[in-house]
Amino acid sequence: MLALYVAKPNELELRRLETVRSPQGDEVKIKLIYGGICGSDLGVLKGKLPHANYPVRAGHELVGVIIEKGEQAAYDIGTRVVVLPNTYCGACDLCQKGLTNICRHKQSLGINTDGGFSQEFVISSKYVLPVPDDLSDEKAVLVEPFAVVVHALSKVRIEPAMRVAVIGCGNEGMMAAVLARHFGADVTAVDVNPLKLETVKAMADIRTLAPDALSGETFDVVIEAAGAREAVEQAAELVAPGGHLVLIGLANEATFPVVRLVRNEVTVHGSIIYRFPDDYLQAIHYLRTMPHPIERVISCIFPVRDYEQAYELASSGNAGKVVLSFREGEEQ
């Protein structure tokens, strides 16, 4: 069985392992179909996440099929599922308030506990959710990152004709722009990379601009998804009086125009991952019903044996979502 590990910063290893143990209790064994590579995977590889453990099996954007189950497992063999990669204790004060996404004892697959980039892996069935038959594998592998966007946009009420700007067209930024357009907003997507702007424009009727092309405009909602200081500071200047700034990106620090935000009653929202299962269920609903071809956010699907090429492309800044395939026959 093949599994992809980050042995230490800047060192990936494709290991051949013995068969995975059988699931116990409420656990299920999943045969992986696809795994998406995201920014946190790259952060672990580059040694940029202080809470990462090494060696660690990579991967947390996962879709696969249950092939074995424990006696108390919630789902049957043959069920296609997506995975919640962030555990929660259910007992801390935040979990008791329903804030499981910021559980005080949260662990994250592929960061500080082994992830799912393996032909087979075992996980508690409380952390999986069935995928409808009419949702393709290519859309299903987007459920986890799209749930991040669904959660972020749930913090504001986006209505038709509202002006929305999305700063940063990485994968989450592109999906945020498409979802805001689906809600009927007049959306402007902003990025320094023209390839990213072309991709998002191909998915929906979205205006695209370079950051320096914005002059004197303001927006009802500004979504910052670049995770860069300059992007956060620009986003804060673009919010209209009474508007909302939603921060998805993880910039370490930025300088805010506090007086302007206060005098204009701008509301700033921090947003991290999602609530499970609610945001996952909503993400699945939108992926099934939106007319926009959001799967175009996927730039390339590589067999797992080509993991080095996949990670290189994902790190280049010139691609959308890069996916590893663990399908039978593609891993040899």
Burial code (b: 16+ CB inside 10 Å, e: under 16) for 220-252 equals: bbbbbbbbbeebbebbbebbbeebbbbbbbeee
**260 lies in the same domain as 282:** no
Question: In terms of DSSP H, where are the helices of 128-277?
Answer: 137-140, 143-153, 171-182, 194-203, 229-238, 258-263
| Count of beta carbons in the 10 Å neighbourhood of residue 321 | 25
Query: 3-class DSSP state for residue 171?
Result: helix
What would the pLDDT profile of 153-203 be if each residue is shown by its tens digit? 999 999 999 999 999 999 999 999 999 999 999 999 999 999 999 999 999
**330 lies in some domain:** no
Reported confidence tier of residue 332, pLDDT bands at 50, 70, 90: very low
**255 lies in the same domain as 316:** no
**6 lies in the same domain as 139:** yes
* Nearest CA among 298, 302, 303 for reference residue 321: 298
**296 lies in some domain:** yes
The answer to pTM > 0.75 is yes
**39 lies in the same domain as 63:** yes
What is the structure's pLDDT at 240? 98
Reported confidence tier of residue 68, pLDDT bands at 50, 70, 90: very high
Reported confidence tier of residue 294, pLDDT bands at 50, 70, 90: very high
Q: Return d(Cα 30, Cα 290) in angstroms, integer.
A: 28
**7 lies in the same domain as 142:** yes
The mean pLDDT of 245-253, rounded to a whole number, is 96
Q: Return d(Cα 300, Cα 199) in angstroms, integer.
A: 13
**13 lies in the same domain as 112:** yes
What is the structure's pLDDT at 204? 98
What would the pLDDT profile of 200-217 be if each residue is shown by its tens digit? 999 999 999 999 999 889
Q: Return d(Cα 202, Cα 215) in angstroms, integer.
A: 25
Domain of residue 8 covers 2-146+274-325
Extract the tokens encoding 165.
């700007």
**92 lies in the same domain as 61:** yes
**16 lies in the same domain as 141:** yes
Q: Are strands 27-37 and 219-224 parallel, antiparallel or unpaired?
A: unpaired
**6 lies in the same domain as 142:** yes
What is the structure's pLDDT at 18? 84
